[in-house]
Amino acid sequence: MSVTSAGRQALRRGWNLLGRLLPDRPSGRPAPPAASTSGDAGRPRVTLLMGGVYSTGGTTRTALSLAGYLSNHYDVEVVSVNRGRRVPHLPFPPGVKVTALDDRFVDQSLRWRLGRRVLSRVPSLLINVDDSRFASFSLWSDLLILRHLRRVSGVLIATRPGLNILAARFAPADVRTIGQEHMNLGAHRPLLRAAISRYYPGLDTLAVLTESDLRDYTALFTGGRPPVVRRPNAVPTIDGRAGDPESKVVVAVGRLTPQKGFDLLLPAWVPIAHSHPDWQLKIYGAGPEKALLEAQIADLGLGGQVALMGRTSRIGEAYASGSIFVLSSRREGLPMVILEAMSKGLPVVSFDCPTGPAEMVATGENGVLVRNGDVPALTEGLSELIEDRALRARLGRGALGTAARYDQEAIGKEWVELIDGLISTPAGGGSPSQV
């Protein structure tokens, strides 16, 4: 669903009007009674609310991995607002219930089909218009989300800004709410940032990915609510063998969008194409910039050395095909592709973009970190590893050690500690530890 400039302004006005009309979640709510937090097996209930779980991507992989771990301790359900595919790109973990609110692949009543046909054409009035995935929501999904929120109990984990705001505003009073931020604060657009300042204090906890995010979001909420904790994503278990230092392939992974900076990576590759014609750059992912990148590849004469590989459901094999991983993003949250590549023994060459790479990539230990947006420096960093097989192998061993610090068991235990603390602590009775 595309939105014109005039339409965006109208939606801003509509979103603000709706914000004034709809009641917020009551403050000072009581501790959830035990009966409302227990699942079928008597275990606490935990719900992860996502925009879409049937597609591939770092957030989807890490959310499913977290859900699988939490299912060892809780009654876990993953709620996907949209379902765009009959078969998911990624397997669902055993023991986790997955529910799609807007599920077009199951038989529905005539009333449901008519409602969807009409209301799905109307842009959302609940998801903030400056949320980067705003276009994937609609007035129809607004109604489905609100209806489902009334039935949630226990602990609710929302996974993106627009959904975090809805959890803060409309979750039942006895539900504990955790908002997850996968992007740094400075990357959010003005209207979304204003809404974050206004509504996130209604969350019980905000979980961020990096130390710099912890500082920035804590400074934003001067009143101390919500408590902000650092919970980095764990490295999910992915298919494929380890990378091979002998391989003459550099791997990049990400959606084909301006954020990922592949338009900067391509000119950085031009000198390498001339000096090392036997090396290849493979970019895995799909997105709206595909045609522009294809044209840029042709204009730069890189057709023989650079390939857009498309989306893959076997990302581990993609990493294993290379000996170096490169990240050219303009901004990130905590780029899981770095940790995924490191878990396969690939050294990383990355821009020092906000945020995340500087907390994972250490030059001379597991890769090369270069100044954000510095294309010649990216070329130099790649060339250094391309020309030194022993260095690739040594930094690859360091990468494995870095990835081990983000093991699912270690990160999962921190999430269990956070959730147990929320369940057992009465409202206003204390804040989770800022670990």
pLDDT of residue 286 exceeding 70 = yes
Query: What CATH number is associated with residue 185?
Result: 3.40.50.2000
Based on the fold, state whether residues 221 and 286 are members of the same structural domain.
Answer: no
Residue 37, pLDDT score: 41
Q: By the 8 A CB rule, do 45 and 17 touch?
A: no
Give the range of the structural domain holding residue 173, as residue numbers without chain letter: 10-234+409-424
Based on the fold, state whether residues 371 and 388 are members of the same structural domain.
Answer: yes
Q: Which residues contact 96 (CB under 8 A, 6 or more apart)?
A: 64, 67, 68, 71, 76, 77, 78
CA dist., res. 13 & res. 425, Å (int): 39
Based on the fold, state whether residues 160 and 253 are members of the same structural domain.
Answer: no
pLDDT of residue 25 exceeding 70 = no
CA dist., res. 179 & res. 207, Å (int): 6
CA dist., res. 325 & res. 254, Å (int): 12
Q: What are the angstrom distances between the C-alpha of 320 and each of 219, 279, 352?
A: 41, 15, 24
Based on the fold, state whether residues 144 and 20 are members of the same structural domain.
Answer: yes
Q: Hey, CA dihedral for 80, 86, 90, 96, is it positive or negative?
A: positive
Based on the fold, state whether residues 211 and 275 are members of the same structural domain.
Answer: no
CA dist., res. 230 & res. 240, Å (int): 30
pLDDT of residue 318 exceeding 50 = yes
What is the helix (H) or strand (E) element at residue 180, kind and residue range? strand 176-180
Residue 430, pLDDT score: 40
Report the percentage of the chain scoring pLDDT > 70: 88
Based on the fold, state whether residues 64 and 165 are members of the same structural domain.
Answer: yes
Based on the fold, state whether residues 211 and 304 are members of the same structural domain.
Answer: no
| Total number of domains in the chain | 2
Based on the fold, state whether residues 419 and 396 are members of the same structural domain.
Answer: no
Dump pLDDT digits (tens) for 61-113.
889 999 999 999 999 999 999 998 888 888 899 999 999 999 988 888 888 88
Based on the fold, state whether residues 32 and 177 are members of the same structural domain.
Answer: yes
Residue 433, pLDDT score: 42
Residue 30, pLDDT score: 35
- CA 27 and chain centroid, separation: 29
What is the band of 29 on the pLDDT scale with cuts at 50, 70, 90?
very low
Question: What are 228's strand-pairing partners?
Answer: 206
Q: In whole numbers, what is the pLDDT of the chain averaged over residues?
A: 88
CA dist., res. 252 & res. 223, Å (int): 41
For 171, list phi and psi in degrees, rounded to 5: -65, 150
CA dist., res. 315 & res. 238, Å (int): 7
Residue 235, pLDDT score: 87
pLDDT of residue 351 exceeding 70 = yes
DSSP letter assigned to residue 254: S
CA dist., res. 239 & res. 104, Å (int): 30
Q: Is residue 432 part of a domain?
A: no
Lowest mean pLDDT among 44-48, 185-189, 266-270, 342-346: 185-189
CA dist., res. 58 & res. 255, Å (int): 10
What token pair was written down for 4?
């014109």
